[in-house]
Structure 1
Amino acid sequence: MPDVVFPLDSARSFADQQKIGHNRWHPDIPPVETLKRGQTIRVDCREWFDGAIKNDDSADDIRDAPMDVVHALSGPFAVEGAQPGDLLIVDILDIGPIPQETGPLAGQGWGYTGIFAKNNGGSFLVDQFPDAYKAVWDFTGDVATSRHIPGVSFTGITHPGLMGTAPSHRLLSEWNRREGELIATDPHRLPPLALPPEPSGAILGTLEGDEYSRVASEGARTAPPRENGGNQDIKNFTRGSRVFYPVFVDGGNLSVGDLHFSQGDGEITFCGAIEMGGFIDLRVDVLKNGMETYGVTENAIFMPGRTAPQYSEWLAFSGTSVTLDGEQRYLDSQLAYQRAILHAIDYLTTFGYSPEQAYLLLGAAPIEGRFSGVVDVPNSCATVYLPTEIFDIDIRPSASGPTKIDPGMGAPRSANPS
């Protein structure tokens, strides 16, 4: 087994560990370890809310989830010889959930998917689903099932939702400038247009005192993907993948977290993957002057692994860039994808699922989302492909009509919904 360079005790909080990670991006957060080129390591990772979400039948914890503490990131890890302008090569060798254990914190042999409330993050379909819901998933080997969404089981496509390098001071300043200008266009919007630096809840490794206060006031939130990689939520970042990250600071300062047992394209419910605590095995190396050599001025490039679930039969749903109220939009691919997902949700409700169960399922299962047409004015076309083999019943259209499933207890809804 590789050297465990970032161990975690699942019975203790993220800030009360042998090595302290971070939940903000900043070049001055010191690395927890310096790695050699070609070194193979194992990193333990907490689920992104550090145990705030429980294995129960209530969604109040999703409703009240503390957004200022995410994401719980393991690292940063410096790599010997990495300098600005290089590409950091990261191979994902293995990844999986923490084995079943006793203890109060999330991630031990199970995970969860959540629809976030409009006043606490929202989701891709926030106008149709403004309240908080949750589904808990149990893991049996590489298969996920849920008491909250009966009648389905599927192979997980485990991956890190978040991995990236530290920004330079210049790049961090640019992030804060452009996102601040966006927020200023509608500062009271729910959900917000972006998340500005927030000192409350910041975890910054070993920083203390005035240095902690300065970095906490400047550090970028980890919610969006940016030029350094970050929270890209790409489900195909599974074992066997090789990722090339731009290096902006000496050492690169790689961090990783937000592990997912499975996810559909888009992580559409915001907490749309199956969130888990777990481990990831990585090998690191450096491609000198790689950014200039290959024209990688920003954003990671990657070679996906070959271990995705092998489904052969799909039912696909399409959508176009017309709102539910009949307003025509010009080549709005995001709207078209929303309409495709709403189409799939409506279809699944004819088999007995609630809209919330269908939405949670589409966020967690390995659906394929595609922008299928982006040139035919005025309508773009997006499609979502749902593997039919994950269902206990046949969901294909037929002359006999849909077979009804028992929806069970349904997806827990938070108390005092909006």
Structure 2
Amino acid sequence: MGDFEGVLRRGEGVPADAVYLPVEDGTFTWGRLPCQANAPVLTVEPGATVVVDTLSHEGLLPDQGSDPLAFFAAHGVAADAVLEEASEVASSGARHADEDGPHVVTGPIAVRGARPGDLLVVDIVDLTPRVPYGVISNRHGRGALPGEMPAGPDNVSVFSRIGRDAQGAWRGWLPARDGGPDAVGFPLAPFLGIMGVATATQGRAHSVPPGPHGGNIDVKELVAGTRLYLPVQVPDALFYAGDPHFAQGDGEVALTALEASLRATVRLEIVPEREALRAFGEIAGPLGETADHLIPTGMDADLDEAMRACVRQAVAILSARYGMDAHLAYAYLSAATDFRISQVVDLVQGVHAMIRTSDFEAVPE
């Protein structure tokens, strides 16, 4: 996580030689994802590094008043600590409140030469908070406890300030009771909930459900220093990013986690189809990679089916990458791999597996 002390405004702190994509008129969609009919807002060569500003939707939505300055002022945030583009997007009319999702999505970025069948590689170089606060919301009856939470008729948006603990580490802070002092602090681990490629459709997909294109996958392990592989759906891939988080627990049970704006630095590369098949087999959806783990994903409206899809993907990857027979890969996954619930709140639910790559380097002579 890059260092931050206050507000990282549009254009501030961007290296002079950087390829930079801010959130401004013409560079974002709100509530919908790019598709093959959309023109790119930026075109880069494979291997390019791009600085991408992302904007949280929290504080912008109708149930929060559609006025970020007023919403955050009610929580003690000064006007000059609210990002300028928050008010611009909130008043843009770019979202249909009853039909579109909530997410502000930056892009799309064309990666020249990417073709369907290839993999787009997204190396997440850096993620830096742009504001020292965030919001956790429970709304729409789509948390893990619909009908129980929220307990009353209104949606709930919980404000969280960001500050250092006694050891100097950044944490999110919450009170134990409304209006009370901060009572619990939890570590930050910023990531982008939405990373994806354009869908091979003429219409833009809703921003909430994830799918083979990526989108709202909410895999919290994809922090700075990790990598995401996305199966390319359309020529030039058309990459986009959004739904920035400061922290999230597995499951994201209340509907959102700690949502707040980030500046992302990403490197975009292409793995040609033939090489991708040798390395991973047939990839049906997003695949994460850290220094220690491969992270296949499974998604479905039914959580049981999402789990099955993730297991199938994990077996296929072990077969392609390490030459394992399917029944032996299945046995290994049962003995040694954690399957985690990515989220249970995005209409299409997600499971991801944590395959420890060091297990395949530990064979004795």
Q: Report the 3-state secondary structure (helix = DSSP H, G, I; strand = E; otherwise coil) of the residue aligned with 1:285.
A: strand
Q: TM-score, normalised by structure 1?
A: 0.52
Cα deviation 1:340-381 (Å, max 9, x = unaligned): xxxxxxxxxxxxxxxxxxxxxxxxxxxx9957xxxxxxxxxx
Structure 1 residue 19: Cα displacement: 3.1
Which of 284, 297, 301 is the equivalent residue of 2:268?
A: 284
1:275 aligns with 2:259: yes
Unaligned runs of 5+ in 1: 9-15, 58-64, 99-107, 170-214, 307-330, 335-367, 372-418
Cα 1:370–1:291, aligned 2, differ >3 Å: closer, same or farther? closer
Return the letter of the residue paired with 2:287.
Answer: I
Which residue in 2 is equivalent to 1:32? 41
Bigger relative contact order (CA 8 A; separation at least 6): 1
Cα deviation 1:266-302 (Å, max 9, x = unaligned): 111112x111112111011111114533323420111
Q: Is the 8 A contact 1:45 1:277 kept in 2?
A: yes
Q: Is the 8 A contact 1:49 1:66 kept in 2?
A: no
Cα 1:35–1:135, aligned 2, differ >3 Å: closer, same or farther? same
1:5 aligns with 2:25: no
| 1:27-66 superposed matches below 5 A | 27-49=36-58, 51-52=60-61, 53=64, 54-55=71-72, 56=74, 66=97
Cα distance in 1, alignment partners of residues 183 and 291 from structure 2? 29
Cα 1:247–1:303, aligned 2, differ >3 Å: closer, same or farther? same
Cα distance in 1, alignment partners of residues 112 and 171 from structure 2? 38
1:152 aligns with 2:184: yes
Return the letter of the residue paired with 1:228.
Answer: H
Return the letter of the residue paired with 2:263.
Answer: F
Which residue in 2 is equivalent to 1:112? 135
| 1:3-402 superposed matches below 5 A | 3-8=18-23, 17=25, 19-21=27-29, 23-25=31-33, 26-49=35-58, 51-52=60-61, 53=64, 54-55=71-72, 56=74, 66=97, 68-98=100-130, 108-118=131-141, 122-130=142-150, 131=152, 132-140=155-163, 142-147=170-175, 150-169=182-201, 218-271=203-256, 273-289=257-273, 290-293=275-278, 294-304=280-290, 370=340
Q: Is the 8 A contact 1:5 1:33 kept in 2?
A: no
Sequence identity (%): 28
Which of 1 and 2 has greater Rg?
1
Q: TM-score, normalised by structure 2?
A: 0.60
Cα deviation 1:127-177 (Å, max 9, x = unaligned): 3214422221111253111246632112111100111111113xxxxxxxx
Cα distance in 2, alignment partners of residues 285 and 157 from structure 1? 24
Cα deviation 1:280-330 (Å, max 9, x = unaligned): 110111111145333234201111368xxxxxxxxxxxxxxxxxxxxxxxx
Q: Is the 8 A contact 1:236 1:305 kept in 2?
A: no
| Aligned pairs, number | 241
Cα deviation 1:241-260 (Å, max 9, x = unaligned): 11111011110111100000
Cα 1:83–1:22, aligned 2, differ >3 Å: closer, same or farther? farther
Structure 1 residue 51: Cα displacement: 2.6
Cα distance in 1, alignment partners of residues 44 and 268 from structure 2? 8
Cα distance in 2, alignment partners of residues 370 and 31 from structure 1? 34
Q: Is the 8 A contact 1:228 1:298 kept in 2?
A: no
CA-atom RMSD, angstroms? 2.9
Cα 1:138–1:86, aligned 2, differ >3 Å: closer, same or farther? same
Q: Report the 3-state secondary structure (helix = DSSP H, G, I; strand = E; otherwise coil) of the residue aligned with 1:270.
A: coil
Cα distance in 1, alignment partners of residues 148 and 125 from structure 2? 39
Q: Is the 8 A contact 1:27 1:167 kept in 2?
A: yes
Q: Is the 8 A contact 1:112 1:135 kept in 2?
A: yes
Cα deviation 1:176-216 (Å, max 9, x = unaligned): xxxxxxxxxxxxxxxxxxxxxxxxxxxxxxxxxxxxxxx5x
Cα deviation 1:66-113 (Å, max 9, x = unaligned): 463522100111111211111111100111221xxxxxxxxx321000
Unaligned runs of 5+ in 2: 1-14, 65-70, 76-95, 165-169, 293-302, 307-337, 342-365
Q: Which has the higher strand share?
A: 2
Cα 1:265–1:38, aligned 2, differ >3 Å: closer, same or farther? same
Cα distance in 1, alignment partners of residues 32 and 224 from structure 2? 26
Cα distance in 1, alignment partners of residues 112 and 196 from structure 2? 17
Cα distance in 1, alignment partners of residues 204 and 187 from structure 2? 37
Q: Report the 3-state secondary structure (helix = DSSP H, G, I; strand = E; otherwise coil) of the residue aligned with 2:247.
A: coil
Return the letter of the residue paired with 2:270.
Answer: V
Return the letter of the residue paired with 1:41.
Answer: V
Q: Is the 8 A contact 1:76 1:255 kept in 2?
A: yes
